Amino acid sequence: MDKTRSFGQISIDHDSGIPLWLQLRNRIIYLIESGHFEVGDKLPTIRKLAVELGINFNTVSRVYRDVERDGYIISRQGAGTFVFDGWRELNGAALEETELLVDDFIRQCKEMGIPSKDIVGLVKKRLDVLNEK
């Protein structure tokens, strides 16, 4: 029996093995970063989203607090929760960290004598393996 629940573009799979809060968090962030939700868009209330997705109110509340802390949304007392663009600034720092990790990986591969063209193939192969899981 399929236990996927959706509310608009927000969906979670109760049988996936991935914690519900993480699925919800990742989906909200994806919808914001991809532009499906734009700055200023109002998100569903915590209660409505919890009911529609069939998950605990506290789980949705935790996700909203977490996503708000990361700058993706902002809550306004009595008005609701809205998409915010504070995440763009935060993502710049995360991107710098990611670039440093990639630089270190490339440097280590070269030190091992792996040609640049083979490094790309190694990454693609590992991505395929991880995407199958």
Residue 20: which of 55, 44, 51 has the closest Cα?
55
Distance CA 62, CA 127 (A): 30
State the average pLDDT for the chain. 86
If one counts the domains in the chain, the total is 2
Q: What is the CATH number of the domain that holds 78?
A: 1.10.10.10
Express each pLDDT in 9-49 by its tens digit. Answer: 888 898 888 999 999 999 999 999 888 999 999 999 999 99
Task: Decide if 89 contacts 44 (C-beta within 8 A).
Answer: no
Residues 70, 29, single domain; the answer is: yes
| Same domain? 71 vs 124 | no
Q: Which of 41, 96, 120 is nearest to 73 (CA)?
A: 41
Same-domain pairing of 116 and 67 = no
Residues 119 and 108: beta-carbon distance below 8 Å: no
Mark whether 128 and 68 lie in a shared domain: no
Same domain (yes/no): 72, 91: no
pLDDT band at 126 (very low <50, low <70, confident <90, very high): confident
Alpha helices in 34-113 (DSSP H): 46-53, 57-69, 86-111
Predicted confidence (pLDDT) per residue in 92-123, tens digit:
555 666 777 888 888 898 889 999 889 999 88
Q: Tell me which residue range forms the domain holding 122.
A: 87-132
